[in-house]
A and B are shown apart, each in its own frame.
Chain A
Amino acid sequence: MKELVTLRVNGDAHEAAVPSHFTLLETLRYVLGLTGSKQGCDKGDCGACTVWLDGVPTLSCIAPVWEAAGRDVVTVEGLAGLRTPPGVPHPLQDAFDACGAAQCGFCTPGMLMSGVALLEENPAPSRAEIKEALSGNLCRCTGYTKILDAVELAAARLRGEAVPEEMEEARR
């Protein structure tokens, strides 16, 4: 049995017919074709499915789609253009690339949603605060080190600071 749900995702309005028990993640991936958000566990354990609901990082694999009705959803596909001109990657997306923070890349979308949410709230987080903010997102490849580096680099760039030479080299 499908029902019609109205969603606003990355600024676009959608009316989608979805089975009534669908999660927000299933709707994004399998109905709207926004496959950037990932399913790693389907139980709210790994964080790969993290999106924003009205700006708050939310586990879309355990959020019924109805919870998102009429609210603002932002996914990894919506990060470019948020603090940059349209289509230009968010500084954290660029920093992930520059620092080698994405290995297999499967946790990356969720990690970015938690990381950018932190930077929206706290432009100068300490390393401990970054760790705390990302603690709901499991990464199995990196040991987190390069991810933490990327958040620090993006924060510095968003603050308009000159970044250390080592980081600049990575960015070239």
Chain B
Amino acid sequence: MRPHAEEKGPVHAEPPENQPEVSSPNVTLVEEVPSPRDGGGVPVHPGADADPGAELNVVGRRMRKTDGLEKSTGRARYTDDIVLPGMLHGKILRSPHPHARILSIDVSDALALPGVFGVVTGDEMPIPYGIIPWTPDEQALCTDRVRYVGDAVAAVAAADEDTANRALERIRVEYEPLPAILDPEFALTDEAARTPVHEPKKPGWNGNVSKIVKLEFGEVEPGFAASDVVVEGEYFFEGTTHTPIEPHCAIGQWEEGGTARGRLTVWSSTQVPHYLHRELAKVLELDPARVRVIQPHVGGGFGGKSEPFDLEFCVARLAMKTGRPVKILYTREEVFLAHRGRHPFQMKYRVGATADGKLKAVDAKTLLDGGAYSSFGLVTTYYSGQLLAAPYEIPAYRFNSTRVFTNKPACGPKRGHGSVQPRFAFEVSLDKLAERLGMDPIELRRRNFMGSYRRTVNEMRVTSNGFLQCLDSVERASGWKEKFRKMGFGRGVGVAGSCYISGTNYPIYPNRMPQSAVQLQVDRSGRVAVFSGASDIGQGSTSLVAYIVCEELGVPLDYVRVLPSDTDFTPVDLGSYSSRVTFMLGNACVDAARRLKAQVQEAVGEEWGIPARRVLLAGGQAMDAADTGRNLPIREAFNLAEAKHGTLGSVGWYNTPKDVHGEYRGGTIGASPAYSFTAHVAEVEVDPESGFVEVKTIWVAHDCGRAINPTIVEGQMEGSAYMGFAEALMEEHVFKDADHGRAGLHNAPSLLEYRIPTSVDTPELHSLIVESIDPEGPYGAKEAGEGPLHPSIPAIANAIYDAVGVRMDSLPFSPPRVWRALQAQAADTEARVAAD
């Protein structure tokens, strides 16, 4: 069945965003795996040893992280820990207006201040950029217009921070304020279109429209007509932000003369060194070969550091101007203003099902509040619909998503990018459906399970799928059957499920090159060095490659050194976003290690006069599989291989299969080589007097394919569930309106006022790992970093309903909101009693 796909209205005039669609020479189509469900099939490219019965020595064990002790002793160096000789401190001047034209900027007084070495304004680096190549609508520093309170206007470099701050006060900017557009619905009006946040791409279009996606699959209206029950609802997901504990930081250094001939180095707390490298070269008009990006340890990202920011361009430009290294460290307030967090979503959902609980049709309409710039918004808009199509069988599905610009900090990708919000609306809808049908909500979800090795209604290829085991796990562990609808007023349990991508099939900019690569180099001592451009932001990618090297080459963990991302020395990995790292970097590392392993096996086999395949590398030794008494220390095995093959080194890479997406415009967005699946049960206690919701426990079952290190996987599951819980109950990234202070001003740009959970607030979190062994993942592994966030929020909403019988369709479930819902329920009951 061909989907009916259309896009209308004032969208960006854009080239096809996912060219080229050419399959990689590194991936060969090997087999069609029939679906156990309907005998259909999907193409599968068996990868790195996804054998469930494989004997593994390292993978699957609870190993320590390679950088764990470095972090717990304070030795780990983050960007702000680096001090260069003669380094200056930079500060950025930010707009006090939500929307204004810049008429003039006078920096002469600032430059005259003793201790000030340089000032930079936007006209020195006016080239627009954007993380998505089709929507370059940002400038390093604004040249003619500011679009939110906090937009960057100028930057100074001074001998110390105090002088830099004083210099900012001496920069005179003349603004002509423009009407501020703060409300996403208002942004769509003709009135707002008269002073749009961005100029429209075509005359007559509304410049406030960032992206519209309308897609329809299957027979939607007939599906509703054939439904016995249709649940309709309106939902609101409030914006939230990442708040990594490390504020963004960057250092720029410029070398002139000698062989350098103008060479830029930028140290940054980025999650995407490769994209930063490209954008720096573009905006600063430098040869990319003369730009180097080094990523020190990163103190958390969660999506908040996955595109270039003003500070990286400013330290670079200021270093070039002053000839001295320049550092900029964001204040916590600036971290809130940089944002790129969760979009506020207004959602309308219709979900239809037959009396036996089978889904027939889903219709979603969504308005995304994008803030001032595009950021990843093109992708967010697609994700808001595309990622809902699993793990349930949805025969007919339509979504209509519109992203608008408003005069607030830009929204972007936060853990679970674009799909956490629709998942909330949909999983609460399923709970309402189960209630209407008098069915257990876990049973309802089981009945709609799509199965494995299937295509979704929007043509996404799903391979391994452990969702049923996830449901079973949380049902058993939580004692669901003894608790659901049985705990009495004030206490309850709720369930929800979800799926998420293990990386995106297409890179952000079109190219046919690998998504991830690894180089290995072996020393005569037995030490193996790993060069990888991957970004360890705490999730453990550095350890991941070390474990894989240990598994394949048999060296002990302390023989492995991993060089962190440095664009001068490490091969490209596209970055830590979209849960791509374990899958793609892992496969690249297996590829590199296997090439090296083959050389070692061949050399040792020759020495012993046995076939190469009989040579095992494990436990620091090379062994004869048929006679383990015959062995060599691994160092000697490496030496034999070096004598036979020359200096030992290898390169490995991974590129995605290109035959797993939908054949329609946008069908590549949401396509992933594998999907992870999650189910949560949350148990809550609600105080009807105050509306306070206490989440007692969340049981998290997650299908990560295979847990390469269960401790690290659990850490991702717990961190995800925590972050979802935080969004459900506490977090609100909101701005003042004209009636409450200054319009567009951030309401709470501090960690005291923007409340994130402490150890006391956080519920008990129980991780239940499910392993479905994906055919294409490294040893069968899939993602674990983002998927397990999704169900927290609807599971808590559904638990609140079980506890006190009120539906929480708007986030967050803060005491005033829950209390008001309870009051409304009481008034309603009273009215009904009176009417009777």
Contact = CB atoms under 8 A, between A and B. Distances in A.
Interface stretch (B314-322, B585-593, B707-715): B707-715
B75 interface: yes
Contacts of B720: 143
B245 A38 contact: yes
Interface stretch (A52-60, A64-72, A96-104, A156-164): A96-104
A37 B74 contact: yes
A141 B715 contact: yes
Contact of B759 (A30, A35, A144): A144
Interface string B628-667: 0000000000000000000000000000000000000000
A29 B756 CA distance: 26
Contact of B722 (A40, A93, A143): A143
A77 B247 contact: no
Interface string A88-129: 010001101111111111111100100000000000000000
Given A76-B73, A139-B245, A104 B762 contact: no
A170 B711 contact: yes
B64 A105 contact: no
A147 interface: yes
Contacts of B722: 142-144
Given A30-B83, A105-B71, A108-B72, A131 B760 contact: yes
Contacts of B245: 38, 40, 46, 48, 104, 106-107, 138-140
B359 interface: no
Nearest to B82: A35
A35 B74 contact: yes
Contact of A36 (B75, B83, B160, B764): B75
B765 A138 contact: no
Contacts of A42: 331-332
A8 interface: no
A77 B332 CA distance: 25
A86 B70 CA distance: 17
A109 B711 contact: no
B711 A104 contact: no
Contacts of B721: 143
Contacts of B71: 96, 102, 105, 108
Contacts of A36: 73-75
Contacts of A19: 160, 162
Contact of B246 (A93, A106, A145, A169): A106
Given A76-B74, A94-B69, A144-B722, A99 B711 contact: yes
B14 to A, nearest CB: 35
A77 B760 contact: no
Contacts, number: 181
Interface string A1-44: 00000000000000000010000000001100111111111110
B57 to A, nearest CB: 13
B122 interface: no
A127 to B, nearest CB: 9
A36 B72 CA distance: 9
Contacts of B764: 145
Interface in B265-292: none
Contacts of B332: 40-43, 45
B68 A100 contact: yes
B540 interface: yes
B540 A103 contact: yes
Nearest to A145: B718
Q: Which of B83, B245, B302, B715 has the most CB of A within 10 A?
A: B245
A35 B751 contact: no
Nearest to A144: B759
A105 B538 contact: yes
Contact of A45 (B69, B78, B751): B751
B483 interface: no
11 contacts: A36-B73, A39-B80, A43-B751, A45-B332, A96-B71, A100-B711, A106-B246, A108-B72, A138-B245, A144-B759, A170-B64
Given A99-B711, A105-B71, A139-B759, 20 more contacts: A19-B160, A19-B162, A35-B78, A39-B80, A39-B329, A40-B245, A41-B332, A42-B332, A45-B752, A89-B72, A98-B64, A108-B71, A112-B72, A138-B758, A140-B242, A140-B723, A142-B719, A143-B762, A143-B765, A145-B765
Q: Lowest 5 A-B CB distances belong to which pairs?
A: A36-B74, A104-B538, A143-B722, A105-B71, A106-B299
Interface of B: 62, 64-65, 67-78, 80-81, 83, 160, 162, 242-247, 297-302, 329, 331-332, 537-540, 711-712, 714-715, 718-723, 750-752, 756, 758-760, 762, 764-765, 767
